[in-house]
Amino acid sequence: MCGIVAGVAQRPVWPILVEGLRRLEYRGYDSAGLAVLSPDTRITTARAVGKVAALSEQIGAHGLPGTVGIAHTRWATHGVPAERNAHPHTADERVAVVHNGIIENHAVLRARLQASGRVFTSDTDTEVVAHLLAEALAAGQTPQAAFFAVLDQLEGAFALAVLLRDTPDQLFVARRGSPLVIGVGLGEHFAASDALALLPVTQQFIYLAEGDRGVLTQARVALFDANGQSVERPVVASAQRADSADRGGYKHFMLKEIFEQPVAIADTLEGRVAAGRVLPQSFGVGAEAVFAAVQRVQIVACGTSYHAGMVARYWFEDILGVPTAVEVSSEFHYRNPVLEAGTLLVMLSQSGETADTLAALRMVRRRAPKIPVLAICNAPESSLVRESDLVLMTHAGPEISVASTKAFSTQLVSLALLLLSIGRVRGLLAEADEQRIVAGLEKIPQLAQQALTHDRAIIALAEQLVDKHHALFLGRGVMYPIALEGALKLKEISYIHAEAYPAGELKHGPLALIDDTMPVVAIAPQNDLLDKLKSNLAEVAARGAELFVFADERAGLQDEARLRVLPVTSHVGRISAPIIFNIPLQLLAYHVAVLKGTDVDQPRNLAKSVTVE
């Protein structure tokens, strides 16, 4: 969601801040700003609505002098997108604050501050932090004591970076519920909401624990826990590269990431299968003991990750006979779920910082601390990874586009590895069946590469969808979640209203929507539900809809009037079919969005990492 970059350096800091913001653009935002302590200890700020490029133009080529600064990209939660609501927020010309998250008690704090005569210039919850700090400093508290006292007054989730005119060589930071990482440089230190922002200046990072606060200078990092006690946190070398945020010749990050899927899938499999067998130890120390006790699986996730969990439910129950439930994190967190012994809780997240998923995990920790938690995640240093018992990294690499593509594919591969591991440890899967599934998994990178060869044909389909206002996606069985994912991709980047249904539900309501203005996208693998799907498609065609069918080459479907069939793969099984059929749906959404001229990588109102509820 929002992005923070901050630094206390030996050189002008503003270019580092602006480049860091540029690298965080994928998170989604509506405004940007920065504040720098000038050599004469004045706080100078620049803020702009729109892209980081607009902020850069406002700053100008000469920049803002100073070696200590904070910067921010904002995604509106309190107050409309406007320059007055953009961060940083200041008070008394001695405090500047940037903030991710939500201060839940901001209204009470604002009322008290206004009653004491303080004047607010924004509609944000963040500005209360600036005024609280200014008030504490005016009362004579030392800067560090003032900062800690203010943190103790705040309720909600936040990551903060603060400049104080009183201490021009220091930067104050804190996190509670929102991610923040410290970058360790040579005689300088930085902070950011994502390590990716700091890769041009360092690959050495300190990941703050929940509740940590700290003081950064050029020479050192002083960290304290939620109780104000001094603590040490390890310095970790990041495996990410500074060029991870480059498009690499592709027009958009989304297209690049779609085409990276064969390699990402291969990387996810590497080292986790050998001689036709899966290695349960890939999930961590003690994984085999945990899997031996699994009686049921509870998957918790949001958005695209939730659709991956839905696919896995079909696999786990169909192949292993293990009862499996899938739930949206925000619903699971608040509905008082029954957590039985023998349950494995599987948390899916691309970023590992999704607020609802982390809240669900922490709720389980409080209520059922003996329930083992497995994180399937793409961010090795994330909160979700650090707080889980077992972990499987998806190895998708950085995913910059807001619309998730390769993270979804690698999550599905990871869930298939989990299925094999539980099946093997519990004796639910014959050795021959395990070897057959592993052999199928090893073919997926090549199948994915072949699916990408249909790109030009999919552009032709996109041209027929670009002027539509609605679309219906249909799938049966394990393809229903893929239909949901296809509809989600189309709506989030092209802004075409799209819904997905199990094809068997047509007569229970959706058929009323069908006419010659409603295109229908269907997924037709070669499986035991194909004949039923063909019957559903006939019902749709009889009502004048234009049909676009992504089919198995053996499905026996051919082009007809108002029916376009695109054979995209062949000889895929229950595990590989959802992964492969999803790729052309990603390409369809991408090309429709390009033809419509939308902001493909940063669609309106959306953010890559949803770090607040």
Please list the active-site residues: 2, 608
Structural contact between residues 126 and 86, judged by C-beta atoms closer than 8 angstroms: no
Burial call 188-214: b when 16+ CB within 10 Å, e when fewer: bbbbbbbbbbbbebbbbbbbbeeebbb
Pick the closest to residue 235 from 283, 192, 202 (CA basis).
202
Beta-bridge partner residues of 549: 522, 565
- At residue 361, φ and ψ (nearest 5 deg) are -60, -45
Strand order across the beta sheet in which 343-349 lies? 324-328, 296-301, 343-349, 373-377, 390-393
Question: What are the structure tokens assigned to 506, written together?
Answer: 């047509």
- At residue 192, φ and ψ (nearest 5 deg) are -160, 160
Exposed, middle or buried, 61 (CB in 10 Å: 0-12/13-18/19+)?
exposed
Helix (H), strand (E) at residue 300: strand 296-301
What count of other Cβ atoms lies within 10 Å of the Cβ of residue 488? Answer: 21
Beta-bridge partner residues of 163: 96
Amino acid at the residue 312:
A
Exposed, middle or buried, 580 (CB in 10 Å: 0-12/13-18/19+)?
buried
Q: In the chain, what is the straight-line distance between the N-terminal and C-terminal CA atoms, in Å?
A: 11
Amino acid at the residue 164:
L
Pick the closest to residue 360 from 328, 333, 392 (CA basis).
333
Which residues lie closer than 8 Å to 347 by C-beta, 6 or more apart? Answer: 300, 301, 357, 360, 361, 373, 374, 375, 376, 377, 384, 388
Grouping H, G, I as helix, E, B as strand and the rest as coil, residue 348 is strand
Grouping H, G, I as helix, E, B as strand and the rest as coil, residue 222 is strand
